[in-house]
Chain A
Amino acid sequence: MKTASELNFGERAIIFDIDHTHPSFRRLLEIGFTPGQEIQLVNSSVFNDPLAFSLRGTLIAIRKHEADCIILS
C-alpha cells in the first residue's frame, strides 16, 4: 500500500484512508486529509522532512511519519 510519504515531487494522488492508530490521525482529518481528497506533494524541506502537500486549495506541511499514515488509493 502506497502512502503519502512515498509520493514523488509534483505527483498527485487520491487519499484512500487514514490510519487511525497513528496519534496524529484526528488532527490530520480535521485539517482536511480525508478519504477521497486529492493531494499533491509540492515541496519538501532541505532534509526531505517535513513535506508540504497541496490539499483543498491550501498548503499543509506535515512530517514524513505523519504522511506515512495517509494511505493512497
Chain B
Amino acid sequence: MSNASIEKLHLITLVGPPNSGKTTLFNQLSGKNFKTVNYPGSTVEYSTSTIQSKYGLAAEILDSPGIISLNPNSPDEEVSINSLYNHPLFGSPHLLIATVDASQISRHLLLAKQLIESGFDIIIALTMNDILAKRGFEVDENKLSELLGCTVVSFDGRTGAGLEKLLSCVRNKLEFESTYQSITPNKIFENISKEKLLNLYKEIEEIEKNVIVQLPDLKENKLGLANKQLKILNPTLKYGNNRPDALTMKIDKYLLHRRWGLLFFFLIMSFTFTSILWIADPFMGFIDEIFGYLSLSASTLFGQTWYGDLIADGIISGTGSVLVFLPQILILFLILGLLEDSGYLARGAMLIDKPLSKIGLNGKSFVPMLSGFACAIPAMLAARTISNRRERMLTIFIIPLMSCSARLPVYALLIAFLTPADKAWMAGIALAVIYILSVLGSLLVAAVINKFNKRLIRTEDNSSFILELPTYRQPKLKVVIRNSIENVKQYIFRAGPIILILSIVIWSLTYFPNYSPKINSTGLSEIEINQMVKAERLSTSYAADLGKVIQPVMSPLGMDWRIGVSLIAAFAAREVFVSSLALIFRVTDESNLQNSILFAMHDAKNEETGKPLFTTSTIIGLIVFFIFAMQCLSTVAVSKKETGGWRIPILQIIIFTSTAYILTFITVNVLKFVGFN
C-alpha cells in the first residue's frame, strides 16, 4: 500500500498493557491481511492493517507494542510511547483504542487514565470480562464511561462479541471528529513523581470501587463467605477481585516448584529441540526431493550448456539448500509461539534469571537465546524485550554462538563422515555434544566479557527483572500458525536473496574462466569425460586462484584451499559450506547428494601434501570451527541494525572467528599429536 492511500484513511492505534488482549482485538479487526512494519531508525516492530472490509469502515489500524505507562522504562518503550504522539511513518493517530483487562482493572486503568489526561481521544475496549465473571463480578460499563469521561465497550476476544458496538462507536467518533480540530496530546507523564503516581492510583481505586458490581447470583451470603475464605486483610477491598486465577496457581505449584521447577524446565526445553529435529525431518526430505527433481529437469532441459549448469547447480541447488531448513524454522516458531501463548515462557525466564544475571545476562535473555537455535536473526529481534541496554547488547553478542539450524546440514555431513552409517545413535550423541558445547561456549563468552571487559559493551542501566506471569490459557493455534508462517516469510525475504546471489557467485567462481576445457578423451566413458572436464575446469577457475591466496592460512590446519574456499563461502551463510563442497568436489549424482559428497571426501587428497584431506582430526577441527565462527552475513547485518552501529558486529567477527581459528588449530594438531591422523 502506498503512503498516499494511508494518508487518506483514518489512523486508529491500539494501545494497552502487555496481555490485555490488544493483539486479539487487532486480529479480529484485521482478519488475515496484516503486515509487520519496522520503520527505519528504530527497533520496534508494528503490525498494521486496514479494518476488514465486511465491517464497512475504512481505517488503518496499528497494533503498538504493549506498554505499562506513558513513562518509558527502556529505549524501546520510549520509541513506542513517542510513536503514540507522532508515528514516524503513519503520523498522529486520529483515535486510540485502549484495551483494559476487566479482571486487572486497577492496574490497566493506569495507562488508560494517563492517555485521557494527556489529551488523547480514546475508546476503551474492556476485555477478559469472562474471567471477572468467573469470580462473580462484572464491570458497570456505563458507570465507568461516566467516571472516566470516555466511551467504554466490552469486547470478548474469543467470540468477537462487542466488536460491532465498538466499531459503531469508532465510526461515530471519526465522523464527529472531522468537524472539530483535535487537541495535541501532552507529554505530562515522563518521569512522573511518586506522589502524582500514587494520587493517580487513588483515583483509579475509587473508580474501581464504583464500577465493579457483583453478579446477581453471588450477592449477599455467597460473597461474605468468599471473603471469609480469602481472609482479606485489606478492609478497603471488600470484594474478592484480588486473587489470581486459581488454576494458574495450581499449575505453578508444579512448574515453578522450588525443586522440580527446573526439572520441568529442562524437560520442556529438551522436548522442544527433539521435536524440531523429528517433526521436521520428513518435510525436509520432501523439499530436498522437489529441488533434486527440479535440478535434474533443468539439466536435461538445457543440456550441457553454461546456463543449464547455472540454473541447475547455481540457482536451484543453491536456493534449495536454504529452503530445505524452512520446516525446522517453522516448527521452532510454532513451538515457541505455543509456549509463549500458553504463558510458560515468562516462567522459564523467571526460573533462570538468577544464573543468567551472574554472567551479565537477564532472565529475559532466555527467549532470544532459545530462538537462536532456529536462527540468530529473529533471536536478535527478540532481544528487544530486555530493557537494560547492556544486558540486551550482551545477549545479542552471544546469540551467534547458539547452534542455529543453518549449522545442522554442516554437522550432519561432518558427523556422517566420522560415524559408521549403521550406528545412528553415535551420530545422535555427537550432535548432542555439539549442542551442549555451543551453549557452554556462549555462556562462557558472556561470563568472560562481562567479567573482564566492562568497556566492551559500555552503558550502565539499572538491571531489573519485573515481569507479569500471565494466566495460563489454551494457546490459540490459528493465530500461532499464522504468526509462524509470517515469521518464516520474513526469514525467506531476509536470507533468500543473499543465498541466491552467493550461490551464483560461487558457481561462477568455480565455472569460469576456462568453462570449456580441452581434455584428452580417448578411451574414456562419458561419465569419466564429464568428471575430467569438471576437474580441469575447477583447477583453472577463479576459485582456484583465490584458493592459492588463502592456502597459507589453511595449511596450519592441515587443510587445503578447497576447504578454504568453502569456508569463505560459508561466511555468507553457513549452509553454503555443504553445497560449496559439493560443487568443488565435483559431485555428479543428484539423487543422493550426501552419499556422493561423502564418497568424494574419502577420496580427496590434500593438494600440498598428497595425504588424505579429510581425516578424523580435520573433520573434528571443522566442527570446532563451525561452533565458534561468526559466519552469517545476515546475522552481521541484523546485529548492526539492532545494536545501532558497527561496534558489536565487528567485535563479534573478530573475537568469534579468531577464537574459532585458534581452537581449530589446537584441536587438529593435538589430535594429530596423540595419533588421530
> Which residues in chain A, 31-62, are within 8 Å of chain B measured between CB atoms?
31-32, 34-38, 42-50, 52, 54-62
A24 and B464 within 8 A (CB): yes
A7 contacts the other chain (CB 8 A): no
Known: A34-B198, A35-B198, A63-B464. 18 other contacts (CB 8 A): A25-B194, A29-B194, A29-B198, A31-B466, A38-B234, A38-B242, A42-B252, A49-B353, A52-B469, A54-B249, A56-B104, A57-B104, A57-B241, A60-B466, A61-B466, A61-B467, A63-B466, A66-B464
Contact of B107 among A27, A47, A58 (CB under 8 A): A58
Is A26 an interface position by the 8 A CB rule?
yes
Partner of A46 from the list B73, B231, B237, B262 (CB cut-off 8 Å) is: B262
Contacts of B244 in A (CB 8 A): 42, 54, 57-59
A51: nearest chain-B partner, CB-CB = B350
Q: Which residues of B contact A38 (CB under 8 A)?
A: 232-234, 237, 242
> Which parts of B49-106 form the interface with A (CB within 8 Å)?
68-69, 71, 73, 103-104, 106
Closest 9 CB pairs of A and B: A23-B462, A47-B354, A59-B469, A43-B256, A61-B350, A30-B69, A32-B107, A38-B234, A46-B262
Q: Smallest distance from the beta carbon of A16 to chain B beta carbons, Å?
A: 12
- Report yes or no: B258 in contact with A36, Cβ–Cβ below 8 A: no
Contacts of A34 in B (CB 8 A): 197-198, 201
- Enumerate chain A residues within 8 angstroms of B68, measured Cβ to Cβ: 27, 30-31
B315 at the interface (CB under 8 A from A): no
User: B346 at interface (Cβ–Cβ under 8 A)?
Assistant: yes
CA distance A29 to B193 in the complex (A): 11
The answer to whether B198 and A60 have CB atoms under 8 Å apart is: no
A71 contacts the other chain (CB 8 A): no
Q: How far is the CA of A10 from the CA of B576 in the complex (A)?
A: 56
User: How many residues on chain B are close to A (CB under 8 Å)?
Assistant: 49
Alpha-carbon distance A14/B236, docked complex (angstroms): 12
A64 to chain B, nearest CB (A): 9
Nearest Cβ distance between residue A11 and chain B, in whole angstroms? 11
Q: List 30 A-B contacts (CB under 8 A).
A: A13-B233, A25-B194, A26-B71, A26-B73, A26-B197, A29-B194, A30-B197, A31-B68, A38-B233, A42-B244, A42-B252, A43-B256, A44-B256, A46-B259, A46-B261, A49-B354, A50-B350, A50-B363, A52-B469, A54-B242, A57-B241, A57-B242, A58-B104, A58-B244, A58-B469, A59-B249, A60-B469, A63-B353, A63-B464, A66-B465
Residues on B with beta carbons closer than 8 Å to the beta carbon of A58: 104, 107, 244, 468-469, 471
Q: Decide if B243 is an interface residue (CB 8 Å cutoff).
A: yes
| B142 contacts A by Cβ under 8 Å | no
Residues of A within 8 A of B (CB): 12-14, 18, 20, 23-32, 34-38, 42-50, 52, 54-63, 66
Chain A residue at smallest Cβ distance from B350: A61
- Which chain B residues in 310-328 approach chain A with CB under 8 Å? none
Please, which residues of chain B bring their CB within 8 A of the CB of A27? 68, 73, 464, 466
Task: Establish whether residues A54 and B468, one from each chain, have CB atoms under 8 Å apart when the complex forms.
Answer: no
In the assembled complex, how far is the CB of residue B269 from the closest CB belonging to chain A, in whole angstroms? 14
Task: Decide if B252 touches A57 in the complex (CB within 8 Å).
Answer: no
A45–B107 CB distance below 8 A: no
| Any A CB within 8 A of the CB of B192 | yes
Q: Assess whether B243 is in contact with A57, with CB atoms less than 8 Å apart.
A: yes
Q: How many angstroms between the C-alpha atoms of A46 and B468 in the bound complex?
A: 18
Give the most central of B69, B71, B261, B354: most A CB within 10 Å: B354
- A56 to B: closest C-beta gap in Å: 5
Q: Are B194 and A61 in contact (CB under 8 A)?
A: no
Residue from A14, A23, A50, A58 with most neighbouring chain B CB atoms (10 Å): A58
Taking a contact as CB atoms under 8 Å apart, the answer to whether B248 and A59 are in contact is yes
Majority DSSP secondary structure for residues of A touching B: mixed
**B110 at interface (Cβ–Cβ under 8 A)?**
yes
Alpha-carbon separation in the docked complex, A12 to B139 (Å): 27
B351 within 8 A of A: yes
Contacts of B71 in A (CB 8 A): 26, 30
Per the bound structure, the CA–CA distance linking A23 and B262 in Å amounts to 30
Q: Is B355 an interface residue (CB 8 A)?
A: yes
Asked if B256 and A56 sit within 8 Å, CB to CB, the answer is: no
CB distance from A10 to the nearest CB of B (A): 11
User: Which residues from chain A contact B462 at a C-beta distance below 8 Å?
Assistant: 23-24
How many whole Å from A43's CB to the nearest CB in chain B?
4
- CB-CB under 8 A from A43, the residues of chain B are 252, 256
How far, in angstroms, from A32 to B194 measured CA to CA in the complex?
13
- A45 engages B110 (CB within 8 Å): no
Q: Are A45 and B192 in contact (CB under 8 A)?
A: no
Instruction: Specify which chain A residues have a CB less than 8 angstroms from the CB of B198 in the assembled complex.
Output: 29, 34-35
> Whole-angstrom distance from the CB of A44 to the nearest CB of chain B?
6
Q: A46: which B residues are within 8 A, CB to CB?
A: 258-259, 261-262, 351, 354
- List chain A residues, Cβ under 8 A from B241: 57
A30 engages B110 (CB within 8 Å): yes
Are the C-beta atoms of B106 and A45 separated by less than 8 Å? no
Interface string of B443-478 (1 = CB under 8 A from A): 000000000000000000010111111010000000
Contact with A along B235-270 (1 / 0, CB 8 A): 011000111100011001000101101100000000
Are B107 and A14 in contact (CB-based, < 8 A)?
A: no
Pair A26/B192 contact, Cβ less than 8 Å: yes
Give the docked Cα–Cα distance between A46 and B462 (Å).
23
- When the two chains form their complex, are residues A36 and B469 in contact, meaning their CB atoms are under 8 A apart? no
Task: Please name all residues of chain A whose beta carbon is closer than 8 Å to the beta carbon of B258 when the two chains form the complex.
Answer: 44, 46, 48
B353 proximity list for chain A (CB < 8 A) = 45, 49-50, 61, 63
Report the bound CA distance from A57 to B232 in whole Å.
13
Q: Which residue of A lies closest to B465 (CB)?
A: A63
B349-363 interface with A by 8 A CB criterion: 350-355, 357, 363
Expressed in whole angstroms, the minimum distance between the Cβ of B211 and any Cβ of chain A is 15
Question: Chain B's nearest CB lies how many Å from the CB of A24?
Answer: 5
Residues of A within 8 A of B355 (CB): 47
| Chain B, residue nearest A54 (CB) | B244
**CB-based contact A14/B194 at 8 Å:** no
| Docked pose: A47 CA to B353 CA in angstroms | 9
Contact A56 B466 (CB under 8 A): no
Query: Cα distance A44–B350 when bound, in Å?
Result: 9
Residue of B nearest to A22 (CB): B462
With a cutoff of 8 Å between Cβ atoms, the chain B residues found around residue A66 in the complex are 464-466
Is there contact, CB below 8 Å, between A62 and B106? no
How far does the Cβ of B344 sit from chain A's closest Cβ, in whole Å?
Answer: 13
